[in-house]
């Protein structure tokens, strides 16, 4: 049984004081989420303070990015060693905004992912197609290439620390979302890709999140699908009230 993973990706939002306020409020309302794993990914500058607040809670700390070197003359970058010391358990790698705005390709993403895994960080590998690729029926080709190249050199033992987030780029921040059924079809294909790369057991154990305009009013329909194992949440994770509804999608008030 795959435990759902709900990840809050705040992107470049919230000052340190705002992040602290959110984390404190979340602790007050977060139930002991035994059946759902919760990860909060603030900006780098807020990681230290949010880590202190989340200590002892069921929520885990994650980072939005990492660099592919342990240390050195890489101005403005953050290594996995630094993230580990701050208490990070997770890191998002290959988000569509990193691919688009910062021109990160599959080779660079693969290098980041392998170094993060070396330091026992759990990784969330983001994959997904643009609107043009979607309209040209290239979804599967794009997703397959991003997975195969992003996971090159990763072994089966390490795959236990990898989650894949399918995020159709045309649905991120647009208010549009793939229908639950359509999203699930891609998730099934992703699971088959993983099974072909490794084995069926690895494919079945793989958690695959959906990302792309996830909100409290569509999370239940998404989570009813057989192969959707959680959500990578952007805008709807900036409000405690909104995010807690997503976390508690299957529970009555």
Supply the residues annotated as catalytic.
Answer: 95, 167
Q: Which helix (H) or strand (E) holds 189?
A: helix 180-197
Q: What phi, psi does 225 have (nearest 5°)?
A: -75, 150
5 burial level (CB within 10 Å; 0-12, 13-18, 19+): buried
Dist CA 149 CA 157 (whole Å): 18
SS3 per residue for 115-128: HHHHCCCEEEEEEC
Owner of token pair 């000052």: 15
Using alpha carbons, list the distances in angstroms from residue 174 to 131, 168, 169: 11, 11, 9
CB 182 within 8 A of CB 143: no
């Amino acid at each position: 049984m795959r435990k759902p993973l709900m990840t809050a990706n705040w992107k470049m939002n919230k000052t340190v004081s705002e992040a602290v306020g959110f984390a404190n409020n979340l602790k007050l309302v977060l139930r002991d989420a035994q059946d759902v794993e919760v990860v909060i990914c603030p900006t780098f500058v807020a990681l230290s303070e949010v880590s202190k607040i989340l200590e002892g809670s069921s929520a885990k700390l994650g980072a939005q990015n990492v660099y592919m070197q342990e240390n050195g003359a890489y101005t403005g970058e953050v290594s996995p060693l630094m993230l580990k010391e701050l208490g990070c358990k997770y890191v998002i790698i290959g988000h569509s905004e990193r691919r688009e705005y910062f021109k990160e390709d599959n080779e660079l993403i693969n290098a980041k992912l392998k170094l993060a895994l070396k330091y026992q960080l759990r990784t969330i590998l983001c994959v997904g197609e643009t609107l043009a690729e979607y309209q040209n029926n290239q979804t599967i080709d794009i997703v397959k290439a991003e997975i195969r190249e992003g996971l090159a050199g990763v072994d089966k033992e390490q795959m236990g620390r990898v989650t894949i987030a399918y995020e159709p780029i045309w649905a991120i921040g647009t208010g549009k979302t793939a229908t639950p059924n359509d999203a699930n079809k891609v998730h099934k294909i992703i699971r088959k890709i993983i099974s072909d790369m490794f084995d069926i057991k690895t494919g079945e154990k793989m958690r695959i999140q959906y990302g792309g305009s996830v909100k409290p009013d569509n999370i239940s329909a998404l989570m009813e699908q057989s192969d959707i194992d959680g959500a990578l949440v952007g805008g709807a994770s900036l409000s405690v009230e909104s995010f807690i509804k997503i976390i508690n999608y299957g529970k009555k008030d």
